[in-house]
Amino acid sequence: MPTVEMERRQVVVIGAGPSGAIAAALLKRNGHDVLIIEREHFPRFSIGESLLSHCIDFIEEAGMLEAVNAAGFQLKTGAAFAWGERYSAFDFGDTFSDGKPTTFQVQRADFDKLLADQAALQGVEIRYGQTLVGVDFAAGHRYLHVRRENGREYHIKAGFVLDASGYGRVLPRLLNLEAPSNFPLRQAVFTHVQDRIEHPGFDRSKILITTHPTQRDIWFWTIPFSNGRCSVGVVAAKEHFAGCDGDLDACLRRFIEQTPSLSSVLANAVWDTPARTIGGYSANVTTLHGPGFALLGNAAEFLDPVFSSGVTIAMRSASMAAGLLHRQLKGESVDWQTEFAVPLKRGVDTFRCYVEGWYAGTFQDVIYHPGSSPEIRRMISSILAGYAWDERNPFVSEPKRRLRMLSEICAAENL
């Protein structure tokens, strides 16, 4: 039998998406040997197109902000919410956390390639079109079994592995780490359109989240890009899509037609791209780390797209993991549970609280309430901007209690 090719690398990152590119760049900037293995060829399509302000902190940390600023992406200043005649807008320049005042709305194919290219320019080696097909983490070793597009295979002995594979969830699958999510099964149907929006109340610098007029657990995203196109999608429990499998375009447009405030915004849209769907996307794992590996972003846990938290969690986890791994590779003692898993989970759980509140209607009551104080709106705006780890914010440090109290006040005032 032929001998299988073997190489040794200090750090291997699985996936060249935002979390992988940022983690790899941060490690390379600190002098470490880093290899990214990426199954796809970039550019490639992905959703998660509306970034939060906190993302800019990590892009800046990785030395990529100048390139991102120069790329011509749509500037994003906040988030707007619409339900029937109600409209509520939050400005990321007016938040409790005083974070970055703006961010971007991006077509992920271009954005992800830009970040990966920036990592490569900093010296990170990226191998596209290669798939991790097996691992052996027994006896303290990290052996990765990689298959090239031509079918030839080789092994890598890695000092440490960061899984940034996103929805691919490579290590959770191969190491049997997957755990059921406690979120109900939901599905998204989405497309890109030439939007031709002329509606006077529409703000291209904000994502528009629209609640269905009668079924509040159904919502839509409208994400404008700088080239006159928009990402448009609907999210609902799986049962709402019964009978839709044959014609996703008709399904999406039917939901929009049921929602006059959104159909008026998209009245002139050219529906020139076939709709896609993704379902059962909420996921969890039994652990975020183990001997010689850590899970980043969606590879570890994905909640729901409603507040665009996915890329922020991914980038935050990349920054945290890269910092800890740098210390570990220098010979310091690192506790991945207390320094990575626990603090990362605190912010994720904050997002989780507001996602659950959105579908229960309590957070929607707060969002759409016309009489919220400016200070409370600034605290909520901080979370919508991605600063879910800022525990100076009472709505971060005590999310469940604060949301319950505020929603009860809003409900009482609406009686």
Q: Mean pLDDT for each 10-residue chunk of the chain (415 residues)?
A: 79 98 98 98 94 98 98 98 96 96 98 98 98 90 95 96 92 89 85 96 97 96 98 93 84 96 97 90 84 88 83 96 98 97 95 94 93 92 97 96 92 66
The alpha helices in 166-206, defined as continuous H runs, are 170-174
Query: In the prediction, which pLDDT does 206 show?
Result: 98
The alpha helices in 11-125, defined as continuous H runs, are 18-29, 53-61, 65-69, 108-121
Give me the domains of the chain, ranges plus CATH numbers: 5-74+100-180+282-346 (3.50.50.60), 186-279 (3.30.9.100), 361-413 (no CATH)
* In contact, 226 and 76? CB cutoff 8 Å: no
- 16 DSSP 8-state letter: -
The residue assigned the tokens 């991790």 is 132
Tokens of 85: 């005649």
Query: In the prediction, which pLDDT does 3 show?
Result: 65
Q: Strand pairing partners for 132?
A: 146
Give the global pTM.
0.95
* In contact, 397 and 382? CB cutoff 8 Å: no
Query: In the prediction, which pLDDT does 415 show?
Result: 46
User: Quick count: other Cβ atoms within 10 Å of Cβ 129?
Assistant: 13
User: Quick count: other Cβ atoms within 10 Å of Cβ 13?
Assistant: 33
Q: CA–CA separation, 31 vs 237, rounded Å?
A: 47
